[in-house]
Structure formats: C-alpha cells, structure tokens
C-alpha cells in the first residue's frame, strides 16, 4: 500500500484502539497485550487471564477490543498498516488466507511442546496449518447440529427416508417440519452442507482437502439438495423459505411453528429463555443414518506478525488452551472445549453438549484461501435451487465458477 | 502589499481547510484508486503494474454487468417515483396557508433518519407474517396469504424503491420549493389575466421556471441512485440470487471481502466515468436550454 495511505490507516487504527484502551485500562502496565477478538464473551477470558497475571505478580495485562462483524476488514487494514496487534481470535474460515499471506507467526514448536497437542481439535488445526507448520491454535468451537421440539416431533428422524415420511405426515396436517436460511450463505454452509458431507465424507461437496479443486457438484451434495427440494415439494417447508434468513427460521422454531431447524451449540445457551419448547438435539446424518457430520466452526487464535510482544502473546494463548482457560468458555452456556481430553472431564458438559461434540468428531470445515469469494457462487446456487432451479445443473454451473475463483487465487 | 492582495490571501487561507479536506478525502483517494486500478495490489507486499488487466477482468466479470444493469434499472425506476411525489408535495407546500411550515418539516423528517433505521422500519412493514403493509395487501386480496415480497427481483426492487422514495423525496421537495419560491407573483398574475387554468399555469409557467431546480434534483437523484448501497445491503442482501446486487455492493465485495483491490479500483473508476458522462450530459442539456 502507498505510504500516505498507510499513515491515514494508522491514524484511524490508533484512534480506534485508543478508545477501548481508555475504557478498559484503569492502570498502566509495562506490558500490555493488544488482543483483538470477534465476540464479546472473549472479555471473560481476558478478565480471567488478567486476574491470573495479577495473582502471579506478573506485569502483563491483556486489553481486549471486540470488533464484531467488522473484524476481518479492520484486521486486514491493521496488517496492511503494520499496526500492533499481539493476539487475534479470527473466524477460522479466514485463517488459511491470513496464514497464506504470511500474516501470522509460526506457532509449531510452541504447540507441539504441549501435552495436549494431539487433543487439539483436528479440523481447526488443519485450517491453521500450511505444510505441517501451525500458524494458529483453536480458540473456541461452534459446531452445527439440529435442534428439535419434542412437543411437535417426539423422536427425530434417523434416516432421510424417515424424514421424508415425517414430512408427508406434517404436510397432511398443514404443519411445517423444518425450514432453512436460504439467503444466508454462511448459515447454509453451517447447517446444510454437512448433510452432503455426511453422505459423501469430508472434503466432498465444496472443495477438496487442500482447497485446490471445487467439488460442489459432487453427487452426494446433489443428493442432499434433491432430498431437501423434495421436502419443499411435499409441502412441510414454508413456501417462502427461498427468502428466509437465519433469524426467520430461528424465530419460526422459537415460536413453535417449525419442528426442527439447523443451528449450532450456542443455542444451548438460549434454552432457558424458551421454556415452552421441549428441546432435543441431533447431528446431521447420511441418507442411511450411519454417518454423521457437522460444520466445525469457531475462532482460531494466532499471533499477527505485527505483534510487539510475542512472548506475552504465547502466555495468553497458553492460558486459553489450558483447562482453566477452557473452563471460562464452557462455563458460559453452550460453550464447548477445543481439547478432546476435556470432553469427559469438564463438569459443564451435558448430553446436549455431547451431541455437538460427537458430531464435531466427524465434522468438517472447508480449507480454502478464497473462502469469501467462494461464498458468492455457493450463496447464489442455494438461492437458485430453492427458488426452483434443478440442483444438478445449478451445482454444475456454480462449481465451474468456484473452480475459476480457486484457479485465480487471492490477489 | 495592496489591500486587495491582502484580502485575496485571507480569502485563500479561509478556504484552505475546506480545500485540504477535499484534497485528502476526495481527490487523493480518487487519484490513488485510479493508480491502483492499473496494479495488482496485495494486502502484504509490493504493488505490481499490470496495465489494463484489471479492466479486462472487470469486462469479463458477469456479476459486474448484472450489477451495472440492475443499478441502471433502479436509477430509472426510482427517479420518476421521487419526482412523482416531490413535485406535487412541493406545489402543495408552496401554498401560503396556515401550518405549511409544519408540513414541510414533517415531509423532510425521513431524510434525517439513518439509512439503517428506515430500512429496518420498512422491512418490518413488509414482513410476511407481521408486516402492516403485507396485511393490507392481503386484506384487499391483492396478494396471496403466503406472499413474500423478497422472493422476486422486481417485487424486491419495488419494495426498496418505495422505501427510498419515502426517505428521500424530502430533499427534492426542498430544492423544488426553493425554486418555486423564487418565481415572482407577476408571472402568476399575468397567467391569470390571460385566463389560464390552474393546471395550465403549472404546466406552462411553474415547471419551466423551476427547470434549474428540476435538473439539480435530477443530477442528485441519478448520481445518488447510481451509488446506491445501504438499502439493498440491508433489505435484500442482493437476493434473490444476486439479482438485486448493486454495482457499489459488488465493488465493496470485491475490494473489502475478496481483497482484490486492483479490480475493485477498476470498477470504481468505471463507475466514476459513467457518472461523469451522465452528469455532463445533464448539464449540457440544461445549458443548451438556458441559451
């Protein structure tokens, strides 16, 4: 970027960083870590870390900036301007891009030195790695699955054929079995694509393992879309589902109008607010019900190359990965540990949590350095299919576009 | 130093802050964007000159053409809607009657609302289950019970156009009102003496005399419509299937979501050129008419 542009960017970044600094710092410490994160619950982790540092008599404190939906453009601008960020908790799907442009520090030796190295979530570690080197570690998990209302659906379906039978029964009563957020590309990859992955295995139905080949038109993904368009035709899905966003289907479920919806483990935290719903959860499954899958989402944590205190950043990440740090997340309703050795020992884990954890075991998250760009053909494909298009031809058309994007790569 | 020179220097000094702001936030970004459009511009690392490659890429980008077409479609549909409401309301507000100032303020009120607020208000009005607007349409059997306005491009476009007309006709109304109030009463008296009806007076006297205001509104409306972003981002998110994705939405996606800054800058420059051509045409027509 041009020098003058960098100065302007720096000016605004310094301003935006100063505001939280002024808000959160009541005392000045000689080592202050600049932590950038997406979600507000991260503040609990930062508070717990600072308390630990205080108890240990260390002069290191973390200052958290929660950037919400603007995280990616702001973080990218910070990198371009060379702005100091010591720790960044990034939506995992963007990490391959940041790692590929050399924006993150190598953490391989640090992570391999930990006893729990082999217990760190596999799909998340895969996303943060290039040629066996790790550029990030799991921070928090967001695994997708299905929620159902036992008052409307006493037992969830276990095969696609069973789901179709249930759909016919619901349609005959003029009721709705399910609905989905067609206009939300992110929502659909989270709660819809895993049906295809369960049918065809990980790395089928979006991109292959290293992200070099698009396979959106994989026969298994097509089978999943055929199944759901069939439900649409039967009539157990609201007619306007093609115009639905995430909030539409979630609100319809919470109002008791839908018997089951795709969602994530975070919804466990909302159960208490909706006592009228008799909650149940299940993982997405293959047509014969023998294989499960999920979208393994969440944030990865890394050290940007613009850090001013790599050692301090390591100490912070070590705290997050520890059982103590993980318990901060899991104590919050719905939180899941990113270490498999904590699945059974963490007292906060319930059977509901384990539905998501088990789905995550065979879950998947696509590896690609052009995720955002691929979301466009994916999003359009879904809208065309549920708007009445033929799944086979639509997927083939947009698979070709995805391949073009992959071949072109990032700028 | 002569007094006039001194005054001139003070004059320049007084406009310097404004000139600096324009240079920093308008001229420099435009020139930099123009420069970027001829480069491969990674987030990290050095820029590389690629000639017209970014423009060729844009030329081959189907979504660019779809978005450009949709943006034109929006512009040519929303502009008449704005005028259809702004002109009669301006004429009504020009009548010297008790309470007309209050009405002017009320009509102008939506302009000061933020885009996001007004977009969400209208989304609630259009909501398929709870929206008052949809309830009304269903009540009079204009649409079916399960009608959703966002399912098709044209209905989505109409829905956003109505929201934009409601939000922005106040600006056009104020400009037109200023034009109306500059017309001398002599013209109306002469028209009355000649036995012209009220409609004939409006058509043959009022409208020709506020032509400059109309052209100004037209320029503002077209330039603003060609750069439309927030309403469609909030209300349609480009759906169904990107058919309501505007050109600026596409430029932002390519630049800030895909980090392809070169092609994004090339699209921005292209839009700038299109706007320059349209505005120049409008101004030249106005000058020709004035002569």
Q: Report pLDDT digits (tens) over A309-368.
A: 999 999 999 999 999 998 887 877 668 889 988 888 888 888 999 999 999 888 999 999
CB contact under 8 A, A76 and B260: no
Same domain, A352 and A388: no
Minimal CA separation from B239 to chain A, in Å: 7
Minimal CA separation from A35 to chain B, in Å: 21
Minimal CA separation from A56 to chain B, in Å: 38
ipTM value of the model? Answer: 0.81
> What confidence tens digit (pLDDT) does each residue in B227-281 have?
999 999 999 999 899 999 999 999 999 998 898 999 999 999 999 999 999 989 8
Mean pLDDT score, A209-220: 93
> What confidence tens digit (pLDDT) does each residue in A393-410 have?
999 999 999 999 999 988
pLDDT of residue B46: 85
Q: What is the DSSP letter of A207?
A: B
**Are β-strands A279-282 and A176-178 bridged in parallel, bridged antiparallel, or unpaired?**
unpaired
User: What's the CA gap between A212 and B165, in Å, rounded?
Assistant: 47
Question: Largest Cα–Cα distance in chain A?
Answer: 69
- In chain A, % helix, strand, coil (3-state, to 5) comes to 50, 15, 30
Interface of B with A in 217-276 (CB under 8 A): 237, 239-242, 253, 256-263
| Domain spanning B55-290, CATH class | mainly alpha
CB contact under 8 A, A384 and B239: no
Q: In the predicted model, is pLDDT for residue A278 greater than 80?
A: yes
CB contact under 8 A, A384 and B42: no
Tokens coding A126 = 């895969």
Tokens coding A257 = 């109008």
pLDDT of residue B104: 86
pLDDT of residue B147: 87
User: Is A173 an 8 Å CB contact of chain B?
Assistant: no
Top pLDDT among B35 and A16 is at: B35
Dihedral Cα A314, A317, A319, A324, nearest 10 deg: -160
Same domain, A119 and A207: no
User: What's the CA gap between A24 and A26, in Å, rounded?
Assistant: 6
Tokens coding A9 = 């960017």
Q: Are A131 and A367 in contact (CB under 8 A)?
A: no
Can you tell me whether residue A23 is helix, strand or coil? helix
In a mutagenesis test of the A interface, which of B131, B244, B259 is the best target, namely the one with the most A β-carbons within 10 Å? B259
**B-chain residues within 8 Å CB-CB of A376?**
63, 242, 253
Q: Are A287 and A199 in contact (CB under 8 A)?
A: yes
H/E stretch holding A297 reads strand A296-302
Q: Which domain, by its residues, includes A400?
A: 143-296+367-408
> What confidence tens digit (pLDDT) does each residue in A88-124 have?
999 999 999 999 989 999 999 999 999 999 999 988 9
pLDDT of residue B2: 76
Q: Are A289 and A355 in contact (CB under 8 A)?
A: no
Same domain, A59 and A12: yes
Q: In the predicted model, is pLDDT for residue A20 greater than 60?
A: no
Question: What sign does the CA torsion over A350, A355, A358, A363 have?
Answer: negative
User: What's the CA gap between B76 and A70, in Å, rounded?
Assistant: 33
Question: Measured between CB atoms, which of A1, A372, A380 is closest to B242?
Answer: A380
Mean pLDDT score, B101-119: 89
Burial code (b: 16+ CB inside 10 Å, e: under 16) for A344-382 equals eebebbeebbebbbbbbbbbbbbbbbbbbbbbbbbbbbb
CB contact under 8 A, B146 and A240: yes
Same domain, A253 and A382: yes
CATH number of A157's domain: 3.40.190.10
**A-chain residues within 8 Å CB-CB of B256?**
73
Can you tell me whether residue A275 is helix, strand or coil? coil
pLDDT of residue A218: 93
pLDDT of residue A8: 62
**B-chain residues within 8 Å CB-CB of A239?**
146, 148
In a mutagenesis test of the A interface, which of B130, B159, B234, B239 is the best target, namely the one with the most A β-carbons within 10 Å? B239
Q: In the predicted model, is pLDDT for residue A24 greater than 50?
A: no
Same domain, A376 and A279: yes
**Which residue in chain A is spatially nearest to B256 when comparing CA positions?**
A73
**B-chain residues within 8 Å CB-CB of A387?**
151, 240-241
User: Is B146 an 8 Å CB contact of chain A?
Assistant: yes
**A-chain residues within 8 Å CB-CB of B242?**
376, 379-380, 383
Minimal CA separation from B76 to chain A, in Å: 25
Phi, psi angle pair for A155, to nearest 5°: -125, 130
User: What's the CA gap between A360 and B73, in Å, rounded?
Assistant: 46
**Which residue in chain A is spatially nearest to B238 when comparing CA positions?**
A183
Mean pLDDT score, A61-82: 87
Can you tell me whether residue A264 is helix, strand or coil? strand
Same domain, A374 and A338: no
Interaxial angle between packed helices A219-234 and A371-386, expressed in degrees from 0 to 180 and rounded to the nearest 10: 40
H/E stretch holding A285 reads strand A284-285
**CA of residue A119 relative to chain centroid, distance:** 19
- CA B140 vs CA B135, B136, B145, B156, B160: distances in Å: 9, 6, 11, 20, 22
Same domain, A269 and A404: yes
**B-chain residues within 8 Å CB-CB of A411?**
40-42, 258-263
**Which residue in chain B is spatially nearest to A241 when comparing CA positions?**
B151
Same domain, A137 and A148: no
Report the domain count for chain A: 2
In the block, tokens 């301090």 appear at A312
Same domain, A96 and A235: no
Mean pLDDT score, B138-153: 89
Same domain, A137 and A209: no
**Are β-strands B39-40 and A296-302 bridged in parallel, bridged antiparallel, or unpaired?**
unpaired
Domain range list for chain B: 55-290
Average pLDDT score over chain A? 90
Q: What is the CA radius of gyration of chain A?
A: 22
**A-chain residues within 8 Å CB-CB of B146?**
238-240
Same domain, A307 and A285: no
CB contact under 8 A, B257 and A410: no
Q: Are A387 and B241 in contact (CB under 8 A)?
A: yes
Same domain, A151 and A266: yes
């Amino acid at each position: 970027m041009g020098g003058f542009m960098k100065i302007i960017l720096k000016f605004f970044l310094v301003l935006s960083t100063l505001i939280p600094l002024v808000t959160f710092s009541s005392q000045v410490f000689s080592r202050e870590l600049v932590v950038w994160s997406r979600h507000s619950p991260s503040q609990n982790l930062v508070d717990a870390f600072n308390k630990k540092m205080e108890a240990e008599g260390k002069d290191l404190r973390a200052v958290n900036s929660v950037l919400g939906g603007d995280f990616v453009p702001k973080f990218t601008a910070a990198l371009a301007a060379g702005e100091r960020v010591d720790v960044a908790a990034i939506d995992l799907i963007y990490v391959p891009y940041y790692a590929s442009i050399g924006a993150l520090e190598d953490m391989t030796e640090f992570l391999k030195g930990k006893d729990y190295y082999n217990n760190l979530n596999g799909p998340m570690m895969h996303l943060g790695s290039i040629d066996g080197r790790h550029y990030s570690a799991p921070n928090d998990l967001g695994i997708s699955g299905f929620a159902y209302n036992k008052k409307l659906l006493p037992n969830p379906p276990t095969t696609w054929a069973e789901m179709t039978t249930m759909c016919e029964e619901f349609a005959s009563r003029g009721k709705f079995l399910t609905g989905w957020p067609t206009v939300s590309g992110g929502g659909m990859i989270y709660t819809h694509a895993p049906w295809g992955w369960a049918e065809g295995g990980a790395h089928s139905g979006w991109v292959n393992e290293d992200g070099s080949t698009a396979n959106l038109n994989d026969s298994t993904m097509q089978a999943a879309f055929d199944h759901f368009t069939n439900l649409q035709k039967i009539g157990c899905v609201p007619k306007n589902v093609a115009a639905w966003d995430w909030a539409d289907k979630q609100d319809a479920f919470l109002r008791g109008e839908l018997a089951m919806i795709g969602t994530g483990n975070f919804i466990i935290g909302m159960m208490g607010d909706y006592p009228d719903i008799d909650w149940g959860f299940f993982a997405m499954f293959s047509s014969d019900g023998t294989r499960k899958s999920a979208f393994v989402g969440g944030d990865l944590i890394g050290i940007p190359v613009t850090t001013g205190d790599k050692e301090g950043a390591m100490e912070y990440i070590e705290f997050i990965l520890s059982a103590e740090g993980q318990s901060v997340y899991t104590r919050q309703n719905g939180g899941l540990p990113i270490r498999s050795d904590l699945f059974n020992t963490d007292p906060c884990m319930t059977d509901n949590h384990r539905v998501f954890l088990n789905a995550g075991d065979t879950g998947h998250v696509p590896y690609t350095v052009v995720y955002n760009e691929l979301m466009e053909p994916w999003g359009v494909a879904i809208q065309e299919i549920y708007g009445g298009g033929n799944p086979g031809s639509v997927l083939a058309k947009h698979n070709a576009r995805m391949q073009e994007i992959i071949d072109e790569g990032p700028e | 130093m002569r007094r006039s020179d001194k005054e001139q220097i003070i004059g320049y000094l007084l406009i310097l802050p404004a000139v600096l702001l324009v240079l920093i936030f308008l001229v420099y970004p435009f020139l930099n964007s123009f420069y970027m459009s001829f480069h491969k511009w990674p987030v990290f690392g050095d820029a590389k000159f690629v000639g017209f490659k970014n423009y060729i890429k844009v030329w081959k980008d189907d979504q660019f053409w779809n978005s450009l077409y949709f943006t034109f479609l929006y512009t040519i549909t929303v502009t008449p809607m704005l005028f259809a409401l702004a002109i009669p309301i301006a004429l009504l507000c020009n009548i010297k009657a008790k309470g007309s100032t209050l009405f002017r303020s009320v009509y102008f009120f939506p302009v000061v609302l933020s885009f996001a607020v007004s977009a969400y208000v209208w989304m609630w009005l259009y909501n398929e289950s709870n929206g008052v607007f949809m309830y009304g349409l269903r009540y009079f059997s204009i649409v079916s019970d399960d009608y959703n306005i966002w399912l098709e491009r044209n209905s989505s476009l109409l829905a956003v156009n109505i929201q934009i007309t409601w939000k922005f006709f106040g600006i056009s109304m104020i400009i037109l009102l200023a034009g109306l109030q500059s017309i001398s009463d002599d013209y109306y008296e002469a028209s009355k003496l000649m036995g012209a009806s009220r409609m004939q007076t409006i058509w043959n006297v009022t409208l020709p005399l506020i032509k400059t205001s109309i052209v100004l509104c037209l320029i503002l409306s077209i330039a603003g419509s060609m750069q439309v972003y927030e309403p469609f981002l909030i209300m349609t998110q480009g759906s169904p299937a990107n058919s309501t994705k505007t050109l600026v939405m596409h430029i932002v996606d390519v630049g800030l979501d895909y980090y392809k800054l070169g092609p994004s800058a090339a699209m921005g420059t292209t839009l700038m050129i299109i706007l320059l051509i349209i505005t120049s045409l409008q101004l030249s027509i106005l000058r020709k008419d004035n002569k």
